[in-house]
Amino acid sequence: MAKKLMLLAGLLLAQPVAAQPAGTPPAKDAYTWVTLGTMGGPMPRPGRNEPANLLVRAGEAHLIDTGDGAMTAMADAGADYPNLRTVWISHIHFDHLGGLYAVLGLRLQTRTVRPLTIYGPPGMKEIVAGLIAAMRPSARSGFGIPGEVPIDPATNINVVELDDGAVVKLDAFTVRVATNSHYSFVPGSPEEHTYRSLSYRFDLPGRSIIYTGDTGPSEKVTQLAKGADMLVTEMIDLDNTLAQMDRRVQHISPEEKTHMAEHLTRHHLSTQAIGQMAASAGVGRVVVTHIAGGAAQGGEPAYREQIGRLFKGPVVIAKDMERF
């Protein structure tokens, strides 16, 4: 009886939420890119979740970055959690992986044992191992039913750390990897030799999508994007971001603020830099997400116009739950 109750609870939790399409349904065998979260940075903001994206088609789902709220957004997008095959983390800043614990926790609670591979930069194995260790007390307690057999939260979870030039071939598509310029550690330091921020190119049946993740201007990313059908890129409105920081960040010295402004300028993409990259790479369209600091009030037409000075193709300033 206890086992039946436990399985019933798991099945109820695993039921998919009805899809909420935002546009024309894709062909049955085509992949759709969904911008689950389009906010950049760790500050909560109404209307925009932290960075997360979904690559989905019938019976198959892949998460690209997992900011806080990614699992709820995935359900809102109509994706069935047991169909999750892979997770791709661009870099190990918290706004890009804060929701990974929820991904693993739902897997535990629904007793999902289908293989899940988590791809990301160096450091991901340590992070996932730590999250699994944090799950073990919950795994042992289970649903609180006498006679329940605990499940190992590490079951069928594989972590693959990637670096510049890596190529991952899956059944239906290929992913190519480039390191980008989101980090600029002291030359020769241990950090320079350890940490990476990655950009991904998804070569899908019929089209290609490049996801910059967080990066500043980068020739490697521009080369990775050559001829891609869609460039999904981060963006920073520097003035708006610094204004947000002044209002919300406490206990920051003038020196720290100067360093932060330097980081935001060098390690993120302005509208001009996006236009240059898109034009140089010859991409088909630009989708702007990860808007650092959030979009300024009424700023979206200006962003499109600024990018359009250099890139003459279509430009979309994405909102959460848009489909491409």
- Residue 150's domain spans which residues? 2-323
How far is CA 101 from each of CA 9, 104, 120, 151, rounded to the nearest angstrom? 20, 5, 15, 16
Residue of 27, 4, 20, 66 whose CA lies nearest to 207: 27
For the CA atoms of the chain, what is the radius of gyration?
A: 20
The stretch 124-138 carries a mean pLDDT of 97
Containing H/E element for 2?
A: helix 2-14
**What's the token pair of residue 49?**
């979740």
pLDDT band at 246 (very low <50, low <70, confident <90, very high): low
Q: Which range in 29-33, 41-45, 283-287 is most confidently predicted, on average pLDDT?
A: 283-287
- Judge whether residue 259 has pLDDT over 80: no
pLDDT at 15: 36
The stretch 205-217 carries a mean pLDDT of 96
Q: What is the CATH number of the domain that holds 253?
A: 3.60.15.10
The stretch 269-289 carries a mean pLDDT of 97
Q: How far is the C-alpha of 299 from the C-alpha of 277, rounded, in Å? A: 21
Beta strands 167-169; 174-179: pairing state: antiparallel
- Judge whether residue 4 has pLDDT over 70: no
- Judge whether residue 11 has pLDDT over 60: no
How far is CA 274 from each of CA 159, 226, 307, 316, rounded to the nearest angstrom? 31, 14, 6, 12
Distance of CA 49 to the CA centre of its chain: 11
DSSP letter string over 116-129? EEEEESTTHHHHHH
- Judge whether residue 289 has pLDDT over 80: yes
In the chain, how many domains are there?
A: 1
Residue pair 290/45 in contact (Cβ under 8 Å)? The answer is no
- Judge whether residue 293 has pLDDT over 70: no
pLDDT at 295: 66
pLDDT band at 185 (very low <50, low <70, confident <90, very high): confident
pLDDT at 251: 63
161-165, 183-187, 246-250, 280-284 — which is least confidently predicted? Answer: 246-250
Residue of 159, 34, 37, 157 whose CA lies nearest to 104: 157
Residue with tokens 């750390």: 161
DSSP letter string over 176-238? EEEE-SS--PPTTSHHHHH---EEEEEEETTEEEEE--S-SS-HHHHHHTTT-SEEEEEEE-H
pLDDT at 8: 33
22-26, 126-130, 147-151, 267-271 — which is least confidently predicted? Answer: 22-26
* pTM (whole model) above 0.95: no
pLDDT at 42: 77
- Judge whether residue 25 has pLDDT over 50: no
pLDDT band at 241 (very low <50, low <70, confident <90, very high): low
**What's the token pair of residue 165?**
């030039």
Q: Which residues are within 8 A (CB) of 51 and not within 5 positions of it... i.e. 6 or more apart? A: 37, 38, 39, 40, 65, 67, 95, 96, 289, 290
